[in-house]
């Protein structure tokens, strides 16, 4: 299988590690952890330890599932699920930079970048292609939409819709134009998203009114994705728009 495990690393017998993966020095992999193929687990990373949940019972059987082709750098911490048979999950092709923390029951998609010292509380869901800036903190149970980008040293306790730029404390400043172009979105697709953004954030309607208006419009699949995400943001609501912040929205 060509798995490389440094002699100072600690790997629980219950853990499963896929081919061509590397476990570097002083890493700890504890309990029911499944790691796919071609992953790098960095120096002193800790995966599968109990969640930071005062109600957690040590007898709870839960775990961590990590896909393929991930880079998880030094000092990252990834905690296992807090409920019986639950998991913390990380998809494929993600890059977790040094010191990132992924709390219990988080769901990280594919092609996500989580920069240094990001802190994700329990049950945070991060969509494909999102970029979380260094030192950002995310309250438990929030969602980050795909291809969203957050400015470093920001804090969020509300959902961040897909395709947007979010910063400071629960603020949206515009659309992630560069990220969408890099993802191969056509000009027509970007216009769909721009129309959806304007309806939610710049129409003068509240969210419920904007969604009601959107239900009678045909703006395309990506606009529907945007509206669906917003419509599901019932627990926390979505981050509000802060115009005039100087961040680029042009697409």
3-state secondary structure of 198: helix
- Rounded to the nearest angstrom, the gap between the alpha carbon of residue 236 and the centroid of all alpha carbons in its chain is 16
Query: Which token pair is 239?
Result: 């981050």
Residue at token pair 């019986």 = 84
* CA–CA distance, 223 with 194 (Å, rounded to integer): 8
The confidence score (pLDDT) of residue 145 equals 98
CB 173 within 8 A of CB 166: yes
| Residue 243, φ and ψ in degrees, nearest 5 | -75, 165
Query: Which token pair is 40?
Result: 């790098």
Query: Which token pair is 54?
Result: 């005062």
The confidence score (pLDDT) of residue 244 equals 61
* CA–CA distance, 17 with 30 (Å, rounded to integer): 12
Give 3-state DSSP helix, strand, coil % of the chain, rounded to 5: 15, 25, 55
Q: What is the percent of the chain where pLDDT is above 90?
A: 95
* CA–CA distance, 39 with 236 (Å, rounded to integer): 34
Look at residues 200, 250, 203 and name the one whose alpha carbon lies nearest to residue 229.
Answer: 200
pLDDT in tens, the chain (251 residues): 799 999 999 999 999 999 999 999 999 999 999 999 999 999 999 999 999 999 999 999 999 999 999 999 999 999 999 999 999 999 999 999 999 999 999 999 999 999 999 999 999 999 999 999 999 999 999 999 999 999 999 999 999 999 999 999 999 999 999 999 999 999 999 999 999 999 999 999 999 999 999 999 999 999 999 999 999 998 899 999 997 644 454 44
Residue at token pair 């100087």 = 246
Burial of 34 (0-12, 13-18, 19+ CB in 10 A): middle
3-state secondary structure of 210: helix
The confidence score (pLDDT) of residue 249 equals 45
- Sorted by where each starts, the structural domains of the chain and their CATH numbers stand as 4-141 (2.160.10.10), 179-231 (1.20.1180.10)
């Amino acid at each position: 299988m060509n798995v490389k495990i440094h002699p100072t690393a600690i790997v629980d017998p219950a853990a499963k590690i896929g081919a061509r993966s590397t476990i570097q020095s002083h890493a700890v992999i504890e309990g029911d952890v499944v790691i796919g193929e071609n992953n790098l687990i960095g120096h002193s990373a800790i995966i599968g330890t109990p969640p930071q949940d005062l109600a957690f019972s040590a007898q709870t059987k839960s775990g961590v599932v990590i896909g393929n082709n991930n880079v998880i750098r030094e000092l990252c911490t990834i905690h296992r699920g807090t409920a019986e048979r639950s998991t913390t999950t990380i998809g494929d092709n993600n890059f977790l930079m040094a010191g990132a923390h992924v709390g219990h029951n988080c769901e990280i998609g594919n092609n996500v970048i989580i920069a240094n010292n990001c802190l994700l509380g329990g049950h945070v869901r991060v969509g494909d292609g999102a970029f979380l800036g260094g030192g950002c903190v995310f309250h438990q149970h929030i969602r980050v939409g795909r291809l969203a980008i957050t400015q470093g040293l920001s804090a969020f306790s509300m959902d961040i819709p897909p395709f947007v730029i979010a910063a400071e404390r629960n603020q949206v400043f515009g659309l992630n134009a560069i990220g969408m172009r890099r993802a191969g979105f056509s000009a027509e697709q970007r216009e769909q998203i721009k129309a959806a953004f304007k309806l939610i954030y710049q129409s003068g309607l509240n969210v419920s009114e904007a969604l009601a208006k959107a239900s009678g419009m045909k703006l395309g699949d990506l606009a529907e994705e945007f509206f669906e995400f917003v419509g599901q943001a019932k627990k926390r609501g979505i981050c509000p728009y802060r115009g005039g912040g100087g961040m680029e929205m042009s697409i």
